[in-house]
């Protein structure tokens, strides 16, 4: 072996031994022939044990992405993507893998496999996305205020209403059977119902009214000015429009509950108490009123 060839071999061996990613060499039939130190750390066992396991022992066979990657490698000579892999103790993890076909100096077919554990990376990304979502003020599905946005905006509205001597009515709307809707009507039915209710609220609300989705199946509308009859009229219109929307998009009625609570100027009634009373009104048995509320409640109970 000449000097340049020896130097090249030494360099490749250094990369193989000290690479931070797991590097494995295998035969086309899935037999593993070698694994670097990073691979033994990643899979939690020795090189000899990894080779005995073979590719079938370190790849989660239930993940269809692995077969897709192999097909790409067979077609193009290389592949890169994500799949699930399995440590020696049986723990599954998500990994980014890259593989390439090559021939040895003796003409024998071989494949390299580089594995990088991305579990931590994915978890960090999901946490970051959750944090970003918590900082937004708008519900992504409906385009209405989310709970955080509503609390921030409504607190200011309550202060202005006290200063101007304006009565506020709060409508609480709930879809009690939303959770099982996808099971009964098919995937996407729950989202369709939520979007239908959001559209119904928008179309019936006045410019000064504030609308929000404050939970998985809960909405509120803070109505600026007007007496109880105005709030009740809007509630009835929303319920009727929602019924038409769901019959059109889902071919059935979706149960909806609506309750109301009123806040008079200077009452110092906090927002959470207002929501709590309106919710109690929505869920009270028909013909009964929520504690401390007029007997007109609940407004709408569609069974």
Task: Check residue 160 and give its pLDDT.
Answer: 84
pLDDT the model gives residue 297: 40
Angle in degrees, CA 99, 120, 66, rounded to 5: 30
Domain ranges of the chain: 3-124, 136-301
- For the domain with range 136-301, which CATH number is right: 1.10.8.60, 3.40.50.10300, 3.30.70.270, 3.40.50.300? 3.30.70.270
Question: In the prediction, which pLDDT does 203 show?
Answer: 94
Give yes or no for a contact between 278 and 261, defined as CB atoms under 8 angstroms apart: yes
- Nearest 5°: the CA angle 87, 28, 71 is 85
Tell me the backbone φ, ψ of residue 69, rounded to 5 degrees: -65, -40
3-124 fold: Beta-Lactamase (3.30.450)
- Name residues whose C-beta falls within 8 Å of residue 137's C-beta, 6 or more positions apart in sequence: 145, 146, 148, 149, 152, 153
Q: What are 161's two structure tokens?
A: 């209403």
Q: Quick check: do 3-124 and 136-301 share a fold?
A: no
Q: Are 35 and 51 in contact (CB under 8 A)?
A: yes
Task: Concatenate the DSSP letters of all residues of 135-181 into one string.
Answer: H-SB-TTT-SB-HHHHHHHHHHHHHHHHHHT--EEEEEEE-TT-TTH
CA distance 254 to 250: 9
From edge to edge, which strands make up the β-sheet containing 168-174? 210-215, 218-224, 168-174, 257-263, 300-301
For the chain, 303 residues long, give each residue's pLDDT as a single digit of tens.
455 555 456 667 777 888 889 999 999 888 999 999 999 999 999 999 999 999 999 999 888 999 999 999 999 999 999 999 999 999 999 999 999 999 888 889 999 999 998 876 666 666 666 666 666 788 989 999 999 889 988 888 888 888 888 899 999 999 999 988 888 888 899 999 999 999 999 999 998 899 999 999 999 999 988 788 889 999 999 999 999 999 998 998 899 999 999 998 888 888 999 999 999 999 876 544 444 443 334 444 443
CB 150 within 8 A of CB 212: yes
* β-pairing verdict for 22-26 and 32-35: antiparallel
Of the CA atoms within 13 Å of residue 109, those in its CB half-sphere come to 9
């Amino acid at each position: 072996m000449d000097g340049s060839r020896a130097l090249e071999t030494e360099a490749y061996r250094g990369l193989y031994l000290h690479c931070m990613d797991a590097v494995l060499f295998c035969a086309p039939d899935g037999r593993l022939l070698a694994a670097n130190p990073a691979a033994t750390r990643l899979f939690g066992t020795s090189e000899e044990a990894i080779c005995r396991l073979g590719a079938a022992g370190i790849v989660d066979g239930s993940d269809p992405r692995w077969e897709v990657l192999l097909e790409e490698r067979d077609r193009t000579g290389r592949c890169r993507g994500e799949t699930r892999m399995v440590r020696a103790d049986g723990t599954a993890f998500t990994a980014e893998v890259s593989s390439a076909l090559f021939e040895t100096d003796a003409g024998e077919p071989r494949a390299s496999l580089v594995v990088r554990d991305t579990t931590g990376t994915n978890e960090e990304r999901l946490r970051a996305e959750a944090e970003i979502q918590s900082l937004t003020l708008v519900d992504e599905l409906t385009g209405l205020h989310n709970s955080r946005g509503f609390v921030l905006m409504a607190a200011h509205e309550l202060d202005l209403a006290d200063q101007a001597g304006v009565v506020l009515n709060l409508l609480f709307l709930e879809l009690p059977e939303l959770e099982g809707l996808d099971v009964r009507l098919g995937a996407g039915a729950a989202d369709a119902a939520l979007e239908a209710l959001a559209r119904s609220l928008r179309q019936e609300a006045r410019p000064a009214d504030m609308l929000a989705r404050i939970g998985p199946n809960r909405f509120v509308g803070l109505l600026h000015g007007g007496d109880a009859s105005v709030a009740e009229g809007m509630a009835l219109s929303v319920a009727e429009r929602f019924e038409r929307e769901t019959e059109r998009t889902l071919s059935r009625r979706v149960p909806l509950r609506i309750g109301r609570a009123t806040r008079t100027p200077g009452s110092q009634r906090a927002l959470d108490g207002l929501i709590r009373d309106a919710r109690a009104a929505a869920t009270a048995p028909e013909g009964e009123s929520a504690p401390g509320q007029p007997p007109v409640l609940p407004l709408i109970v569609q069974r």
